[in-house]
Amino acid sequence: MIKKDKRKGFRAGYKKLGPIGRFLVMFTIIAFVVPVIIAFIIFGLQTKYGASKTIQKQAQKDREEKHQEVMKGIEEINEKLFPTKHENMINAEIEKKLYKDSAYSAVERAAELESRGVKAASGIIDELRKRGASSTLLTVLEIDRDINKDNLNRDGLIERDREIAAVAYLIGDFDKSDAELDHILNLLPDDMKALNERGFLYLLRGEMNQAEQYFRQVLDLAKEQQKGEPLIVALNNLAVIYKMRGNLDLAEEMNMLSLEIAQKYGYREIVASNYSNLGLIYQTRGDLAKAEQLHQKSLEIAEKLDQQEIVASQYTNLGIIYKKRGDLPEAETMHMKALEIDKELGRLEGMASDYSNLGLIYMTQGQFDKAEQMILKSLEIAEKQDLKGIMATQYGNLGLIHQYRGDLDKADQMFKKSLEIAENLGLKETIADQYGNLGSIYIARNDFGKAEELLKKSLEINESLDRSEGIANQYGNMGKVYRGRGDLKKAEEMFLKALEICEKRGYLEGIANAYISLGGVYGQQGDVKKGREYMEKAIKLYKQIGMMHMAEKFQKLLDKLSKG
């Protein structure tokens, strides 16, 4: 009797299938049912957890886009960090050699911090786009450095200190910059970059002896370690010191050594800059031909490198040379070219100098209203940007305009205002100019004792600086003092000294002025023919230069004397 299997359902049916049937059922389940189940499981997991992962991915994508956005602005921001606000004597290319890398690194770090969502850095890139380096950037860098300093090795700390020192320098906080350099030198006493930067700070403060000490230390280290770049920086800064002291020979030696090394290492921008600095030395000496040659060399290199800032500076230097030669149209062309470039670059300091130089040309031509307009434009920029050296120059130039117009009190006020700033900054050339200008005011007031005292001060400074044009001007003014006292022989001696320098250097305006002064002396001495001869030579030169107001003034005087 067969026993009946009473089991029901899937398991009963499965047992009844036999081995082959059961195999086919299992195959079907594995092949089709299990994948469906797995799919449902995956779907469920995605439904429960997928949203947060998507959010995370989107957040990461947003951070990356933000990072790219802020990084795009870095180049734009970096362009705003320079040029410097300091006197043109302080070489802009050397300043960039000192601070450029650290300043740019600081901006990149700020961009990175903002892109990571660091609260202190929020909005920093927009601020930098608008304002360039700022105290906010300085604060962000300090916070980041202090938070991470326990995890930084010596090199990491020095890198952060360099960035902070560079930004502090750029915003004018020299004490803060110096304190950061102190941190670096405590960690690494022979760090040539920090030594150069500290010397540079002393140089800007006018503390020449301390600055020289640091640059000399770099010279010794750089020579020993055969490091070209820090050696070039030190040599250029020493050249500035010696030029400011009036030691042009030693300044030239430093620039020549720097030029040689820059050529060896292929630093073409520094080569161009050195040619320019050497040109300025020869310009001060009055060797206009040599100065022009050097500035042309600098211009040629700068144009090839597309260094428009250096190009503009060389147009300016060439314009000054052409003015001294009496070629006012060509001088104006050069300054207009410089102004066009400086406007494109947004170089406010350059624009202030350009307007000033154009003002001097118009003043020489007797266009005093137009000259005043240019000088006031220059002064407005200088006051807004706190360019004190340029402010001093423009107050002096305004004084000259008031003097030409006959307002001696206003001229006196401007000259003294210029002198005060120049003395605070230690600007010897401007100090010498204002002593000379004030001396000419006292000559006009017939106070020859006070005039002589001021003119001798100016002459002494000009001689110490080897400024041939300034020396010639003060010999001319001293001649007017002696003529005012009735000492015609001594007056003639002074005017002849002035004439000799101007003829040797090719200063056409100075030659014309000396001719006029000598013509007056010879006339007073009773040699009317010789006096007329010199006045006619002066009038001819004034016309050649384009100083028609002077030519007309003395032609009228000559005509009056002829009728008399």
- Mean pLDDT, the chain, as a whole number? 85
- Report the predicted TM-score, pTM, of the whole model to 2 decimal places: 0.76
In a domain, 127, yes or no: yes
Same domain, 98 and 150: yes
Same domain, 275 and 232: no
Cα dihedral 333, 337, 343, 347 in deg (nearest 10): -110
Mean pLDDT within 127-147 = 77
In a domain, 468, yes or no: no
Position of tokens 């449902």? 40
pLDDT tens digit sequence for 426-447: 889 999 999 999 999 999 999 9
In a domain, 546, yes or no: no
The number of folded domains in the chain is 4
pLDDT at 425: 83
Same domain, 142 and 168: yes
Same domain, 97 and 157: yes
Same domain, 317 and 292: yes
- Pair of tokens at residue 65: 């886009």
- Pair of tokens at residue 261: 């090394």
In a domain, 181, yes or no: no
Same domain, 342 and 312: yes
543 close to 551: Cβ distance less than 8 angstroms = yes
93 close to 269: Cβ distance less than 8 angstroms = yes
- Long-range (24+ apart) CB contacts under 8 A made by 518-523 are 518/492, 520/483, 521/479, 521/483, 521/488, 521/491, 521/492, 521/495, 522/492, 523/561
In a domain, 363, yes or no: no
Domain span holding position 331: 267-346
Looking at this protein, which amino acid is placed at residue 134?
S
Distant-in-sequence, close-in-space partners of 157: CB < 8 Å, separation ≥ 6: 145, 149, 183, 187
DSSP assignment of 356-382 equals: HHHHHHHHHTT-HHHHHHHHHHHHHHH
Position of tokens 């670096």? 184
Q: How far is CA 102 from CA 78, 98, 186, 223, 307, in A?
A: 11, 8, 19, 24, 21
Same domain, 197 and 252: yes
In a domain, 436, yes or no: no
- The mean-pLDDT minimum among 57-61, 183-187, 397-401 falls in 57-61
SS3 category, 83: coil
Same domain, 233 and 272: no
Q: What is the end-to-end Cα distance of the chain in Å, rounded?
A: 171
In the chain, the largest separation of any two C-alpha atoms, in whole Å, equals 171
A 10 A CB-CB count for 389 gives 22
Looking at the predicted structure, is the pLDDT value of residue 535 above 90? Answer: yes
Which residue from 44, 45, 16, 10 is spatially nearest to 29, judged by alpha carbons? 10
pLDDT at 524: 92
Mean pLDDT within 56-84 = 52
Spatial separation of the C-alpha atoms in residues 286 and 533, rounded to whole Å: 27
DSSP state of 31: I
pLDDT at 74: 46
The pLDDT > 70 percentage for the chain reads 81
Same domain, 276 and 297: yes
Last residue of a domain, one of 141, 174, 207: 174
Spatial separation of the C-alpha atoms in residues 89 and 75, rounded to whole Å: 27
Dihedral sign (CA 233, 238, 239, 244): positive
Same domain, 202 and 220: yes
Distant-in-sequence, close-in-space partners of 201: CB < 8 Å, separation ≥ 6: 169, 174, 177, 178, 181
Looking at this protein, which amino acid is placed at residue 327?
D
In a domain, 318, yes or no: yes
554 close to 539: Cβ distance less than 8 angstroms = yes
Dihedral sign (CA 23, 27, 30, 32): negative
- The mean-pLDDT minimum among 107-116, 125-134, 493-502 falls in 125-134
Mean pLDDT within 266-276 = 92
- Pair of tokens at residue 223: 């020579």
In a domain, 195, yes or no: yes
Looking at this protein, which amino acid is placed at residue 307?
Q
Last residue of a domain, one of 211, 234, 260: 260
Same domain, 275 and 338: yes
CATH code of the domain covering residue 341: 1.25.40.10
Same domain, 256 and 272: no
Mean pLDDT within 403-417 = 97
Last residue of a domain, one of 316, 346, 376: 346
